[in-house]
Amino acid sequence: MKVAVVGATGMVGNVILKVLEERNFPVSELIPVASERSVGKTIEFKGNSYKIVGLNAAVSMKPNIALFSAGGDTSLEWAPKFAEVGTTVIDNSSAFRMDLDKKLVVPEINAQALTKQDKIIANPNCSTIQLVLALAPLHKKYKMKRVVVSTYQSVSGTGAKAVQQLENEINGIEGDMAYPYPIGRNALPHCDVFLENGYTKEEMKLAREPQKILDDRTFSVTATAVRIPTAGGHSESVNVQFENDFNLQDIREILSNTEGIIVQDNPSTNTYPMPILAHGKDDVFVGRIRRDETQPNTLNMWIVSDNLRKGAATNAVQIAEYLNTNKLF
């Protein structure tokens, strides 16, 4: 099993390597890939050292799987080149997510749609993954009509420069700015770039990706995405209107019995999901489950997950595990 990790020196790339090791994915040969300035350097994996190679060299090595986390432009140019030599690409960027010919996969929901012919598979947006994991079983039971989501997203979702900006601000150090304003003691209603309709690209990902993953366009999603000064973990306030009424205890039971979800919902003991508790974990945490008392058949809940793990690296590795288990190479 030859496995290439494209973007191996980046934040998500580092977590992909960690998750591959933790989950004991059967890597017989690791091919770490990064930009030209990193070629020749070494990284550690399972106690061994591996030399970083460039993209051309990695393609020529014909890996079975290539886990991409190197940005959309790199994916658009190089993912097809890997696919041409028989490699199955699992891409973390937004490059292929809304491509009608590419599957957008959260394994617990729609991995069964994958076939040997799928040589480029899209990993959803980090905020989308935790959202749809909680929504999917409820949609199946009660049928969603409309979802309103407000996100509270950590700086790690922007990248290492943003994490450093927050650290600098905490420590009173002047440095490079990843954002147009300070992030410490602040909240920026600005995740990704603004589009002509006034929404950001991140907000439109949340609006469109759930429909594709669930293969259902009968419901709508509207989003406001906000960056907050937490180092890791994304949080979401979610309001869901269903066609059918529900019982709150049934909601809790459905979510508790859903793979990948942990319910933390006990106001009497101040038990609810928080990014600090989700850090380093692969689960999606759901709490503050309550009825919206202003309109019928409507639910409020709070969803938290580690955006670098289930929101990116873990989901990608789980796709690779499904492909391997089902011999879909």
Using one digit for the tens of pLDDT, what is the confidence trace for 38-75?
999 999 999 999 999 999 999 999 999 999 999 999 99
What per-residue confidence (pLDDT) applies to 161?
A: 97
Task: Please work out, in degrees rounded to the nearest 5, the angle formed at the alpha carbon of residue 134 by the alpha carbons of 132 and 135.
Answer: 60
User: E strands within the chain?
Assistant: 2-6, 29-33, 42-45, 48-51, 65-68, 88-91, 103-104, 120-122, 144-153, 220-227, 234-242, 261-263, 284-291, 298-305
pLDDT value for 302: 99
Q: Closest Cα to residue 232, out of 181, 176, 276?
A: 276
Q: Cα–Cα distance between 36 and 199 in angstroms, integer? A: 35
Q: Please calculate the CA angle 19-23-24 and round it to the nearest 5 degrees.
A: 110
199-230 tens-digit pLDDT = 999 999 999 999 999 999 999 999 999 999 99
Distance CA 1, CA 303 (A): 35
Residues with Cβ within 8 Å of 39's Cβ and at least 6 positions away in sequence, in order, are 52, 53, 54
Sites in the chain below the pLDDT cut of 70: none
With CA atoms as reference, report the closest residue to 133 among 314, 1, 12, 5. 314
Which position among 126, 139, 190, 191 bears the catalytic label?
Answer: 126
Residue 126 is a catalytic residue: yes
Which pLDDT score, from 0 to 100, does residue 329 have? 84
Q: Catalytic: which of 190, 191, 234, 279?
A: 234
Q: Residue written as tokens 């290439």? A: 4
- The superfamily CATH assigns to domain 127-307 is Dihydrodipicolinate Reductase; domain 2 (3.30.360.10)
Q: What are the backbone angles phi and psi of residue 17, rounded to the nearest 5°?
A: -60, -40
Estimate the crossing angle of helix 314-325 against helix 11-22, to 10 degrees: 40
How far are the Cα atoms of 28, 78, 119, 196 from residue 71, in angstroms, in the given order?
A: 26, 11, 18, 22
Superfamily of domain 2-123+312-325: NAD(P)-binding Rossmann-like Domain (3.40.50.720)
Cα separation of 289 and 324, whole Å? 36
For tokens 């994490």, the residue is: 163
Domain ranges of the chain: 2-123+312-325, 127-307
301: phi then psi, degrees, rounded to nearest 5: -155, 165
Whether residue 279 lies in the annotated active site = no
What is the distance between the alpha carbons of residues 52 and 54, in angstroms, rounded to a whole number? 7
Type of residue at 159: G
The two domains 2-123+312-325 and 127-307 share their CATH topology (first three levels equal): no
Q: Concatenated DSSP letters for 176-207?
A: --SSSS--TT--BS--S-B-TTS-BHHHHHHH
- Residue 244 is predicted with a pLDDT of 98
